């Protein structure tokens, strides 16, 4: 048995939902993570400072007693977003970032942005005050193959935006391609990327080979093996521009296991153990802290967490619960399809 210790990690991209689902999943993240960037794609979305304050209150109320988990709130960018409200939310400490969903790109994104021109005023304000824009980087044009949507987004939306507004700080969220990793690694400033645990562990075969497996379907969809390998290289490199954003995105099983299932993989329960497995396989355990605990705070200009998280390596594979029961229904936990020998010490 071997044990490693890292500063308590943070999750820079998390879906906690609301109501009974929030109550069910919040403890799963709070157990291991000190802070998380909370996605605003509720129905209706979290758009204003007041929305974010109210949602933060509901998250804090859903945490187990004694938990010191800190939700870092985001505002959902719409074509009607008020720049002054965004600036106020940021300077008053209510919101950490703004989230851009291209309209129709993913779960609950219909209120997202169709025409970037309509939000340039907000983005200019954000550039001035140093507020980060978190981007779901996929085009929604039905003519573009779903496996190419990230690369086309980089070429046709992200790169032009960065040239037009070089001072805007951008997080490319949950990158899934070598193109995304290369683009971020090649940037001189104001660009970083989060990577999920599951995109380091599965490729698109998990969804489609030998039967259709809806619990591996998420957006951006997992790509070819060469992309998974490029993501592993980026995540384990220690490069400060790459950090963990789990994109843990719970849906109740009936919404996944049906004719038109929702996108989202629920990983909060076992994501740190899976991540340790990935870093061990890459002979990069000494870089786990960079990816999960150090690079994110540096990018978001926050202190590193003081407490520690201990992970133990066992001789036999560890069993994780196949699902959690929430008040909203049963939620399947990510099965990495490969033995994991790590667990987090309670
Ligand atoms: C997310 C969700 O369910 O809210 N789904 C997903 O597949 N990741 C939305 C998102 O982050 O794209
Ligand atoms: Zn997400």
- Ligand 1, CB within 6 Å, residue ranges: 15, 41, 106-107, 136, 218-219, 247, 249, 263-264
If we measure between CA atoms, which residue out of 18, 21, 16, 136 comes closest to residue 72?
16
Q: What is the DSSP string of 97-151?
A: EEEE-BTTSSTT-TTSBS-GGGGHHHHHHHHHHTPEEEE------TTS-GGGHHH
Ligand 1 mutation pick, 12, 15, 76, max ligand atoms within 8 A of CB: 15
- Which of 139, 129, 67, 69 lies closest to 95, judged by CA? 129
User: CATH number of the domain that 204 lies in?
Assistant: 3.20.20.140
Q: Pick from 181, 275, 276: which is nearest to 228 by CA?
A: 181
Task: Read off the pLDDT of each residue in 194-211 and give the average, rounded to a whole number.
Answer: 98
Please tell me the predicted confidence (pLDDT) of residue 257.
Answer: 98
Lookup: tokens for 169:
């700080």
pLDDT in tens, 234-253: 999 999 999 999 999 999 99
Which residues are designated catalytic? 247
pLDDT at residue number 6: 98
Q: How far is the CA of 263 from the centre of ligand 1 (A)?
A: 6
- The pLDDT mean for the chain works out to 97
Q: How far is the CA of 154 from the centre of ligand 2 (A)?
A: 18
**Helix, strand, or coil here: 52?**
helix
Of all atoms in ligand 1, which is nearest to the CA of residue 247?
A: 8
How far apart, in whole angstroms, are the C-alpha atoms of residue 289 and residue 127?
Answer: 29
Tell me: the pLDDT tens digits for 136-189?
999 999 999 999 999 999 999 999 999 999 999 999 999 999 999 999 999 999
Report which ligand 1 atom has the smallest distance to the Cα of 251. 3
* Residue 149: domain span: 2-344
Q: Is the pLDDT of residue 106 over 90?
A: no
The whole-angstrom separation of Cα 169 and Cα 192 is 8
* CA 224 to ligand 2 centroid distance, Å: 20
* Alpha carbon nearest to ligand 1 atom 5, residue: 264
For 258-267, the pLDDT digits (tens) are 999 999 999 9
Ligand 1 centre from 21 Cα, in Å?
A: 15
pLDDT, tens only, 317-332: 999 999 999 999 999 9
Cβ–Cβ under 8 Å, residues 302 and 34:
no
**DSSP structure class, residue 108:** T
Structural domain count, the chain:
1
| 274: Cβ contacts below 8 Å, ≥ 6 apart | 197, 198, 201, 267, 334, 336, 340, 342
Q: pTM, whole model, 2 decimals? A: 0.98
Q: What span, in angstroms and rounded, lies between the C-alpha atoms of 342 and 316?
A: 9
Residue of minimum CA distance from atom 6 in ligand 1:
264
């Amino acid at each position: 048995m071997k044990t490693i210790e890292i500063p308590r990690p943070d999750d820079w991209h998390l879906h906690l939902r609301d109501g009974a689902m929030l109550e069910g999943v919040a403890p799963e993240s709070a157990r291991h993570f000190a802070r998380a960037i909370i996605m605003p794609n509720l129905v209706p979305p979290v758009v204003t400072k007041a929305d974010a304050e109210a949602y933060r209150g509901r998250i804090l109320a859903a945490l187990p007693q004694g938990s010191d988990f800190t939700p870092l709130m985001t505002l959902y960018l719409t074509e009607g977003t008020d720049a002054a409200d965004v600036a106020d939310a940021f300077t008053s400490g209510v919101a950490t970032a703004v989230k851009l969903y291209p309209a129709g790109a993913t779960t609950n994104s219909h209120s997202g942005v169709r025409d970037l021109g309509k939000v340039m005023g907000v983005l200019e304000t954000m550039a001035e005050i140093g507020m980060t824009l978190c981007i779901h980087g996929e085009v929604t044009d039905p003519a573009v193959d779903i496996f190419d949507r990230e690369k086309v987004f980089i070429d046709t939306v992200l790169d032009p935006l960065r040239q037009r507004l070089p001072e805007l700080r951008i997080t490319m969220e949950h990158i899934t391609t070598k193109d995304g990793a290369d683009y971020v690694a090649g940037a001189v400033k104001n660009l970083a990327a989060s990577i999920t645990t599951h995109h380091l562990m599965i490729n698109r075969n998990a969804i489609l080979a030998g039967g259709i497996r809806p619990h591996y379907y998420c957006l951006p969809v997992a790509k070819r093996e060469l992309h998974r390998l490029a993501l592993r290289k980026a995540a384990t490199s220690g490069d400060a521009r790459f950090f963990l954003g789990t994109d843990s995105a719970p849906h109740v099983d009936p919404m996944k296991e049906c004719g038109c299932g929702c996108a989202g993989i629920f990983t909060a329960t076992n994501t740190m153990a899976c991540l340790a497995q990935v870093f061990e396989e890459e002979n990069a355990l000494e870089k786990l802290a960079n990816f999960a605990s150090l690079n994110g705070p540096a990018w978001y200009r926050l202190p590193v967490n003081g407490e520690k998280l201990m992970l133990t390596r066992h001789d036999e594979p560890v069993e994780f619960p196949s699902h959690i029961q929430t008040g909203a229904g049963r939620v399947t936990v990510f099965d990495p399809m490969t033995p994991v020998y790590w667990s987090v010490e309670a």
